[in-house]
Amino acid sequence: MDKIKVVLFGFGTIGTGVAKILFNHADRITQATGKTVELIKICDKDITTRRDIELPSGVLCSDAESIFGDPEITIGIELMGGLEPARTFVLRLLENGKDVVTANKALIAQHGNELFNTAQKFNRTIAFEAAVCGGIPILSALSTALQANTLQSINAIVNGTSNYILSQMESGKTSYRDAVSQAQKLGYAEANPAMDVDGTDAVQKLAILAQLGFGANVSWKNIPRLGIESIESIDFRYAKELGYRIKLLAVAERSSGGLELHVSPTLVKGDNPLARVRDAFNAVRVVGDSVGSVFFQGLGAGQLPTASAIVGDVIDTILGRTAITFRTLHLWDSAKTSVAIKSPNEFFGKSYLRFSVQDQPGVMHEISGVLGNRGISIASMIQHEPENKTTEPAVLILTTHEAREGDLLEAIIQLQQLPAVLGKVVRLRVQN
């Protein structure tokens, strides 16, 4: 039987999961490919820490240089994360005639153009299913089964860590800080968990989804993002009162002026399936003109769900399926950009606004005046009497009807200048 020799760069949580599947379930890979797949080297700078798997002797190494030129290796799996040396390693693998499988969304989102051009130049492929939503086969669905559609929208929960934190906070039992460290222990969080909670991880994934779903060649840095740091337990209570849950949503939505792209904490109506996605689960709702609405849900982070997508890519690469898809997609090809990206000020949507205000006559009148002057209409309002009227400011919650983003942001700046408005206005998007 033919042997396929594979090398893995990065022996962290996900790398260990890939090694477990390749060593412990070699029969499955053989059955799928008709070949014997051998993981002959695992390269990591740390070769002393014990991992949760026994490796055959000689597999673990720290010298990447000796691997690139080895003609027997045909597939390199990059799981180091980060931009460098991951970018250089992937380029070296491609230049040396090896196909690449990677889970590195930062790398794809940042250097997709260079990497895909290099792969084409050397007649090689890059598979990256695990880069977005871990175990959910969303990239494969967008690039194959849903091809007959013009997509209308993608609404997605793409960051397991922030979804886990929001779920824990919503239950009222865990502090923000405890939830972050628990997500780290469970292997969901990035090496730098700030990227999970500030929306960076999510915009990088959204840039990849927008590229595959809409042909949008957009830099992740230009996608507006807001993280979950400004959300307080009080927001979950008011959201519940209004019939919503809070989720960090990544949105790509086609509208008359082009594609709206943003990542932001959003009040999602309780009967929307995205509202019911809890813990580290990810979910993607795709709406296409022929298929209608399709909903995907699964674990987007963690060892084996992510490894499942990576080994699936290894199998597709061996079978030649990756090459067929890769050739036809024109990924990160600026000449093939098929959609205009809308300027953030022109987005339209509903909002939730939380104010701390002095509880005195005329405050509502002033606030509604600022909004009304910009054509922003109030949809609902909540104010509960504070327990201690003399010491506590009042909390005022407003939701708005659809408004132009530029008008709303200007109104918020003006509202924050009103003497009766204390501190910052917290703004979340609202989606039904």
Name which of 109 and 301 has its Cβ closer to ligand HSE. 301
Chosen residue from 160, 213, 265, 305 binding ligand HSE by CB under 6 A: 160
Name which of 125 and 159 has its Cβ closer to ligand HSE. 159
Name which of 201 and 313 has its Cβ closer to ligand HSE. 201
Q: Which residue has the tokens 């996900």?
A: 14
Alpha-carbon distance of 383 to 385, in angstroms, equals: 7
Name which of 38 and 201 has its Cβ closer to ligand HSE. 201
Give the pairing of strands 348-357 and 292-299: unpaired
Helix (H) or strand (E) holding 410: helix 405-416
Chosen residue from 13, 16, 155, 161 binding ligand HSE by CB under 6 A: 161
CB of 198 to ligand HSE, least distance (A): 12
Span of 50-58, 153-161, 173-181, 416-424 interacting with ligand HSE by CB under 6 A: 153-161
CB of 105 to ligand HSE, least distance (A): 6
Name which of 110 and 161 has its Cβ closer to ligand HSE. 161
What are the start-end ranges of the H helices in 272-341?
303-319, 321-329
148-164 burial, b at 16+ Cβ within 10 Å, e below that, comes to: ebebbbbbbbbbbbbbb
- SS3 assignment for 298-311: EECCCHHHHHHHHH
Give just the sign of the alpha carbon dihedral 349, 198, 241, 399: negative
Alpha-carbon distance of 259 to 218, in angstroms, equals: 11
Task: Single out the residue of 291, 424, 299 nearest to residue 354, CA to CA.
Answer: 424
At residue 105, the 3 state secondary structure works out as helix
41, 105, 205, 342: which one is catalytic? 205
CB of 103 to ligand HSE, least distance (A): 7
Over the window 177 to 216, marking each residue x when it contacts ligand HSE by CB under 6 A and - when it does not, the resulting string is: -----------xxx-----x----x---------------
Residues 242-301 touching ligand HSE, rule: CB under 6 A, are: 300-301
- What is the DSSP secondary structure assignment for residue 45, as one 8-state letter? S
Bridge partners for 101 per DSSP: 77, 127
Asked if 205 is an active-site residue, the reply is: yes
Residue 349 in contact with ligand HSE, rule: CB under 6 A? no
Chosen residue from 118, 125, 159, 431 binding ligand HSE by CB under 6 A: 159
Residues assigned a catalytic role: 205
Instruction: List contacts with ligand HSE (CB under 6 A).
Output: 159-161, 188-190, 196, 201, 300-301
